[in-house]
Amino acid sequence: MGILDTVERVHLGLDYHIQRHNLLTANLTQIDTPGFRPLDLVRGQSFEGALNAALTETSPMHMGGAQSAERFDVREDPSAGVGFDGNGVSVDREAVKIAANQLRYDTLAVLASQTLNGLAWAANDGRG
Amino acid sequence: MQAIASIADISRAYPTAEVRPAGSALSSTLVPQGPSNVDFEGVLTEALSNVNNMSNHAGEQVRALAAGATDDLHGTMIAVKEAEIGMKLVGSVRNKLLDAFHELWRTSV
Amino acid sequence: MSQPFTVAGVFSALEVAGSGLTAERGRMNIIASNLANVHSTRGANGLPYRRLDPVFSVEAVAPDSGDPILREVQGVRMSAVQADPNPGQRVYQPGHPDADPQGYVEYPNVNVVTEMVNLMTASRAYEAGVTSIESIKAMARSALKIGQ
């Protein structure tokens, strides 16, 4: 598969998490809006699809293509509760989602950095 | 041939020199006393293939985390670091081999 | 390098702690309602206000996970709100608009002291949940330092 393919997938993951962060924090601004259902960002449903949906390689010398033009869908969160005014935003629920999302973002950022450092080491003829 | 399955095994596979007690000839204290039937090329090839496996495994873990398919943060970090260390160990051996070769090449007869 | 079961990360612990926060917040809302209506002698149904009690139940976080430990982990959910059926104090106030034919007014069965104690308990439980979440985040962040 190759290091560059891995880095590209990590890049897409980082894109997803930052967009989701923006969406979740926007939910918090709507905490008093009557009838508002909280939104969430959804990406490719199946794990298999995410790993195997690559551009087909016609030669083993080509670098693998990660999912290009990965689409993320904005959906209403179906498992949110509902308040007496129809508003479904719970501060605690959104805060937990934001915390978890942020942890994943931080992890992917560290992994991207380590992967690229490994590639730089190899490019430096393995001498640091 | 003993199967090499981890970094610890890689370092065990390279026999280190034994120091003989005082009184022996200088040359014999420097001669490595490991088993004489060690196939160094085989050891190196197997180490390379194991490092390759570790690398692939780490790559799979990272891709799974990037796709959101796993929750294993520390497992992925450890796998990536292990693969990096394995790679650097093998790279270090290769550099030493190259340097030794160059030194021999430069020896005037 | 296969594992006997997949390693669960910290994210299920975050959801469990979050469910605790939501539950305590719900309890505080109910206590606020009780305290606000301590003198409400007539509700929508013509009867005096009855204090409300939350009913909590467990809610499995990951019932179909591959991890046998994770299957047992439970979050909390407020499943119902119950009215306390005990009658409140009856006070003799013949001029009161809600007085019964004998001149007695029935007040809500809300004890302010009890409600304040419950409020402090809920508040402490909420803080404990927040501390729990901060610890979980700190653990995950130290995992990021592996190999740095």
Distances in Å between the alpha carbon of C128 and those of C11, C21, C32, C133, C135? Answer: 18, 9, 20, 9, 11
Write out the residue range of the structural domain in which residue A83 sits: 3-123
Distance from CA of A122 to the nearest CA of C (A): 18
Instruction: Determine, for residues A50 and B69 on separate chains, whether the beta-carbon distance falls below 8 Å.
Output: yes
Give the range among A70-74, B22-26, C96-100 with minimum mean pLDDT.
B22-26
* Unique residue bearing structure tokens 């982990």: C73
Are A43 and B68 inside 8 Å of each other by CB? yes
What mean pLDDT is predicted for residues B89-101? 90
Q: How far does C147 lie from chain B, in Å, by closest CA?
A: 6
AA letter at B86:
G
The type of residue at C52 is: L
Q: Report which listed range, B3-7, C43-47, C136-140, is most confident.
A: C136-140
In a domain, A128, yes or no: no
pLDDT confidence band for A57 (50 / 70 / 90): very low
Average pLDDT over residues A22-28: 95
Please tell me whether residue A13 adopts helix, strand or coil conformation.
Answer: helix
How many angstroms separate the CA atoms of B109 and B51, rounded? 38
pTM exceeds 0.95, yes or no: no
CB crowding B47-85: b at 16 or more within 10 Å, else e: beebbeebbeebbbbbbbbbbbebbbbbbbbbbbebbbe
Predicted confidence (pLDDT) at residue A95 exceeds the cutoff of 90? yes
Residue B4 or residue A70, greater confidence: A70
First to last CA, chain C: 23
Residue partners of A10: CB distance under 8 A and separation at least 6: A108, A111, A112, A115, B62, B66
A: neighbours with 3+ CB pairs under 8 Å? B, C
In this predicted structure, the answer to whether residue A51 has a pLDDT above a threshold of 70 is no
Chain B neighbors of A52, CB-CB under 8 A: none
Which residues of C fall within a CB distance of 8 Å from A107? Answer: 140, 143-144
User: Which of A55-69, C14-28, C39-53 shows the lowest mean pLDDT across its residues?
Assistant: A55-69
What is the overall mean pLDDT for chain A?
81
Q: Do B95 and A127 touch (CB under 8 A)?
A: yes
Are C139 and C41 in contact by the 8 Å Cβ rule? The answer is no
Q: Residue C47 above 80 pLDDT? A: yes
Higher pLDDT, C123 or B15: C123
Consecutive H or E run containing B42: helix B40-66
Of the pLDDT bands very low, low, confident and very high (cuts 50, 70, 90), residue A71 is confident
Structural domain total, chain A? 1
Q: How far is B36 from chain A (nearest CA, A)?
A: 30
- The domain locations on chain B are 7-106
Assigned token pair, A65: 């293509």
Helices (H), chain A: 3-29, 47-52, 91-123
Smallest CA–CA distance, residue C57 to chain B, in Å, is: 27
Mapping DSSP onto H, E and C, the string for C73-113 reads CEEEEEEEEEECCCCCCEEECCCCCCCCCCCEEECCCCCHH
Q: Do C21 and A110 touch (CB under 8 A)?
A: no
pLDDT-derived band at A110 (thresholds 50, 70, 90) equals very high
